[in-house]
Chain A
């Protein structure tokens, strides 16, 4: 057993700085791969930082998400999520997940690629009309994934101003007050309940109608689960991709030689997307702790039954025992076994959709905007704050 410092460290260790991963993770991987941390809210936790330990926490059934319900789980936001697919373990979790999994397989997603490309082309035409400088977030990064998930799920695109505001409630740490979070979540659930009633009366060829059918004709999920699942799909279906598009563009613009290489090798966009998924620490900190169901030895320490463990995907993706030159961006990296989409039962349901959208986004932006660059100074980029994820909320771009 390794000696560990029993005094928990404040976590996150430092104020997040753009997309820079705190170098302290590297020190922990070397010195104290599983350590004690204290988050802004909830009980103290273990934090796993090595690739193999992180995978164990996410995939080993001795670590449970469902056991977090009713506990004061370690977290960065005042309220803890108590329902939904992210608070379930197999087989309950799988019962819900398999209802939607088929809509997100690689093959189904590939069928959506031409449509995503058309949406991206339309957005680019609009950007050329307006001319530089303009904000990538509003003009491209948000409307692309929002349009795709709206069409897939069956949510009217015209309602986007409302649900975009409400969506922040699911990712806010301090951006919104506790009251706002509660209000927005109530409004989002109310909105989705109304939409479900509409589809019930008039089914359509969309995922929402298919889920309603699974509820009404086959009783595969409860009404609450149906609403939670639909809300989860809408929020997760656009927020993360809309955040990663500007993140990826920002990283490329700040790594000019890599950007140049990608321009000259557009067929390598899929590899670039994988490397950027590895390189960008999307989450501000490790979240969604797993509770040990029995005593487990992890990274040389004994986790007692009932203790919560956080696992850092961002740290795992920089593990020097897995990746050559892990701190370097290498868009041509081969056999990239990053876990940017997570691991185990809760591995991102929309991973294939996100991949496809990110490939379309990068490929289109590089092709359509020669000389793409920041439309201002580095200081002009406005970063999100008080959210679970990092990314620009305003990214001004210019081009030739």
Chain B
């Protein structure tokens, strides 16, 4: 039951919201965020980070079902 996390580097503006909300899951380097792990165990903070991204550059999927968990469409 793992999740897949992606950051769209083209959209990302390096706000740092994700790395602050979900510590240990994102790193912002040279103004662009990337996920530290593409596979993560289910965790509310990761969904929180995706929901709080000012430009919705983060997407979280349930790997098994392929269902998008955040941001909600």
Contacts and interface: CB of A to CB of B under 8 A. Distances in A.
B27 interface: no
Interface in A104-151: 104-107
Interface string A75-114: 0000000000000001100110110011011110000000
B69 interface: no
Given A105-B71, A343-B14, A59 B31 contact: yes
A344 B52 contact: no
A60 interface: yes
B13 A107 contact: no
B40 interface: no
A56 B15 CA distance: 12
Nearest to A352: B54
B14 A94 contact: no
Contact of B13 (A91, A101, A344): A344
Contacts, number: 59
B44 interface: no
B31 A56 contact: yes
A278 interface: no
Contacts of A349: 54
A279 B71 CA distance: 30
B35 interface: no
A107 B20 contact: no
A101 B17 contact: yes
Interface string A55-71: 11001100000000000
A326 interface: no
B56 A345 contact: no
28 contacts: A56-B31, A59-B14, A60-B30, A60-B31, A90-B20, A94-B16, A94-B17, A95-B20, A98-B21, A101-B52, A102-B48, A102-B51, A105-B51, A106-B71, A107-B51, A107-B71, A107-B72, A344-B14, A344-B15, A344-B31, A345-B17, A347-B13, A347-B15, A347-B54, A347-B55, A348-B54, A349-B54, A351-B54
Contacts of A102: 48, 51-52
A105 B31 CA distance: 21
Interface string B27-62: 000110000000000000000100111111000000
A106 B56 contact: yes
A204 B39 CA distance: 39
Contacts of A351: 54-55
B63 to A, nearest CB: 23
Interface in B1-34: 13-17, 20-21, 30-31
Contact of A98 (B13, B31, B52, B56): B52
Contact of A94 (B20, B48, B56, B72): B20
A280 B15 CA distance: 23
B29 to A, nearest CB: 10
Nearest to B53: A105
Interface string A213-236: 000000000000000000000000
Interface in A17-50: none
B21 to A, nearest CB: 6
A90 B15 CA distance: 9
Contact of A55 (B16, B31, B56): B31
Contacts of A347: 13, 15, 54-55
A149 B53 CA distance: 20
Contacts of B48: 102
A343 B13 contact: yes
B56 A105 contact: yes
A35 to B, nearest CB: 22
